[in-house]
Amino acid sequence: MCLSTVLLASGLTATGIAQLDATPNGGAMSETVPDTSHYTFYNPTPRQFRRPLSADRPDATESPYTVDAGAVQTELSFVEYTFDDDGRSDVHNIAVAPTNLKLGLTNDTDIQFIWTPYVRESVDDGEDNAGVGDLQTRLKINLWGNDAGSTALALLPYLTFPVGESGLGAEDLEGGIVVPFAVDLAAVGLAGFGLGTQVEAAFERSADDTGYRARVSHTVAIGYEVNERAGVYGEYIGDAAFDGGGYSPTLSTGATYALTPNALLDAGLRVGLRDENTDDLVVFAGLTVRF
């Protein structure tokens, strides 16, 4: 069973973006791609015609590929730990089972629900705060490259609803849009490599609660196939808020391991490069499963 077509979150296969050459469920190679454009959530894509598994984790770069029509996919971290020294005190944050539940609506559209059932924040010289996280709803629309080709592009608008514990998330309705793009670097002679990138525009409640602020971020991720099951990636994340906060750079790296064509383990970390504006360290491990 060939697992080399399992995708990283940035839209990278373990050998690049092998959508065109991969047959369903990792079978023999074929030059044809079945027409799945007419399938919907109520008329699901047959399992033998499903695309290779693609997740929006573990890197920050989103995948431009959608979940197949009628499929259900769960992506979660077992535990995610964040440490930040803000110059006044040390802040420790533990998120338990933050989960992204995806439903394939059509061949090129899926809907996503992201929620964290438990978050605990501890401040060295202050009180602990714990509770549930916010709910985020996203709609991913693939514009091209979902089923074939060496590039892929998508739109990913989202809304964040402030249903979580006060102080652990948004204080008001927030939203934004992400535009992820993926390229198969094998097309330029770099076999085993894939490139993912994205830009994001977000509107968030300002820290002083006087209104909304605009924030723009961008990422670049490079993935490499170690073997048929394992892959690694490196990523740069840049974030800028238009309220005087300046530019915040972060580096990220991690690895994935395919258990089956429908299950993917991952682990990674992010390191902030600007103390006052980025988390110093984020460590996580998780799992993606498609049903």
41 Rama sector, left if φ>0, alpha if ψ -120 to 50, beta otherwise: alpha
- pTM, two decimals, is 0.88
Confidence check: pLDDT of 242 > 90: no
Question: What amino acid occupies position 114?
Answer: I
| Strand stretches in the chain, DSSP E | 72-85, 90-96, 99-106, 109-115, 118-123, 129-131, 135-144, 151-161, 174-184, 193-205, 212-225, 230-241, 246-260, 263-272, 281-290
Confidence check: pLDDT of 13 > 60: no
For residue 239, what pLDDT is reported? 94
Q: Give the domains, in start order, of the chain with CATH numbers.
A: 24-290 (2.40.160.40)
For residue 207, what pLDDT is reported? 64
For residue 139, what pLDDT is reported? 99
Question: What amino acid occupies position 115?
Answer: W
Cα–Cα dist 253/281, whole Å: 12
Confidence check: pLDDT of 201 > 90: yes
For residue 241, what pLDDT is reported? 84
Task: Categorize the per-residue pLDDT at 24 as very low, low, confident or very high, splitting at 50, 70 and 90.
Answer: very low
Question: What amino acid occupies position 16?
Answer: G
Instruction: Give me the chain's average pLDDT, please.
Output: 88
| Strand stretches in 1-71, DSSP E | none
Task: Categorize the per-residue pLDDT at 42 as very low, low, confident or very high, splitting at 50, 70 and 90.
Answer: very high
For residue 1, what pLDDT is reported? 34
